[in-house]
Amino acid sequence: MPQRREAAIVGVHEYPLRVVGPGTSALQIKAASAKAALDDAGLSWSDVDAVYDTGSHQGIGGLGISEYLGIKPKVIDSTSVGGTSYEFHANHAAMMIAAGKCEVALLTYGSTAHSDRRAIGTGGFTGTATPNPQTNMEAPWGLTLISNYGLVKQRHMHQYGTTNEQFAAISVATRKHAMRNPEAVKAMTDLEFVGVNELSIEDVVDSRMVAWPLRLLECCMISDGGGAVVIASPSVARNAAKKPVWIIGTGEATQYRENGGDITLSAGAQSGPRAFADAGVSPSEIDVLMAYDSFSITVMCMIEDLGFCAKGEGGAYVADGHMAFDDPTKPALNTDGGGLSSNHPGERGIFLLLEATRQLRGESTSQVKDPKLAVAVGNGGSLGSRHATGVSILAAD
């Protein structure tokens, strides 16, 4: 079955600063990124007839952002499922465009998480005045978001024999890519990383413990930042300023705690196969994997659950070292530096789409040779607890 070419990413922009300083708001980041993404596509504000925005920052969702940007859209989508909201948005935009409901969709994200000193990771489940169905199994015991991920890593190590050294290979690969990305280097410098350089396995394993057994260099940074994506119909895409990147497969799923459930199994085990079946391709054909890397365990589960290797074999897979952009095996992992070493303003899903697009255009700072297919897989919520996993499969023109 031929791959569908019913909607394409035609414009992208990533806000260059990870520390914006006082006086810059999330809305300003969104507006600047949206304008730059439209310029990248060769389009204008008047071309936009669909708006996708979670409304998670400054309390302004699809309706408010439409007014702020001066757009009167035919379609508004404010789906909010954490960090993977933007894979959901891209997938929904592709479906609405294919259905003829709109022609040009604008996805925006902006955050000042670092400047606001938000407690991302060390906050989370605690501090709930009245227990509710979402927190009643975590909040009473003082569980934080990062310790929840630590539980998943510990379970993976126990269940499959995965080692700390194998997990560390993920951080090593993403830092290699980050050191080739000037914006990532500036981010680490501005955020006062101790050692803005490539990493060794020993560096990661010897870094301080944050939440057993997760160490500092296995945890994402907390930054400011944002970006925008423009998705368009084939008729618009064919006349855009740059070659389109087609959305050929989509998948979405949710997961939550269940008695007897496996906390190392993510919702990607459902959404991944759906997306690959939709695209008519297999994991072995993917050149670039942009996987949500809030923590090393998140990447490990995404690699396994999307079928790049069997469940429980992720440790050996990443230890083989074939995640680098210049390795002849594939796919390359998080070639912008990822959330571990480039940016993580709280919801990183849009950056997966941005770098996947840059790769398929040949514009990455860690450019894979002649890539044809890329996967963006986001994870929102909390792995091992309630979360969503959205998968978008992209193809070069």
Q: Average of pLDDT values for 222-248?
A: 97
Sorting pLDDT into bands at 50, 70 and 90, what band is 124? low
Tokens of 224: 């400011």
Q: What is the pLDDT of residues 174-212, one digit of tens each?
A: 999 999 999 999 999 999 999 999 999 999 999 999 999
Going 186 to 188 to 193 to 194, the CA torsion angle's sign is negative
> In a 3-state reduction of DSSP, which class is residue 245?
strand
Q: How far is CA 231 from the centre of its chain?
A: 17
pLDDT the model gives residue 145:
86
Q: Average of pLDDT values for 124-148?
A: 69
Q: Read off the pTM.
A: 0.96
> In a 3-state reduction of DSSP, which class is residue 229?
strand
| Phi, psi values for residue 195, rounded to 5° | 95, 90
Q: Which of 375, 153, 351, 158 is nearest to 275 (CA)?
A: 375
Q: How many CA atoms lie within 13 A of 242 on its CB side?
A: 21
Sorting pLDDT into bands at 50, 70 and 90, what band is 322? confident
Alpha-helical (H) ranges within the chain are 26-41, 62-69, 85-98, 145-160, 164-178, 182-190, 201-206, 234-237, 268-279, 296-305, 314-319, 338-341, 349-361
pLDDT the model gives residue 254:
96
Tokens of 133: 């169905």
Above 80 in pLDDT, residue 140? no
Architecture category of domain 8-116+222-396 in CATH: 3-Layer(aba) Sandwich (3.40)
Above 80 in pLDDT, residue 153? yes
Q: Which of 215, 214, 221, 244 is nearest to 104 (CA)?
A: 244
| Phi, psi values for residue 245, rounded to 5° | -115, 115
Tell me the β-bridge partners of 253.
389
Buried b (16+ CB within 10 A) or exposed e, 290-320: bbbbbbbbbbbbbbbbbbbbebeebbebbbe
Q: What is the pLDDT of residues 27-74, one digit of tens each?
A: 999 999 999 999 999 999 999 999 999 987 767 888 889 999 999 999
pLDDT the model gives residue 262:
94
Specify whether the CB–CB gap between 373 and 308 falls below 8 A.
Answer: no
Buried b (16+ CB within 10 A) or exposed e, 344-356: bbbbbbbbbbbbb
pLDDT the model gives residue 120:
77
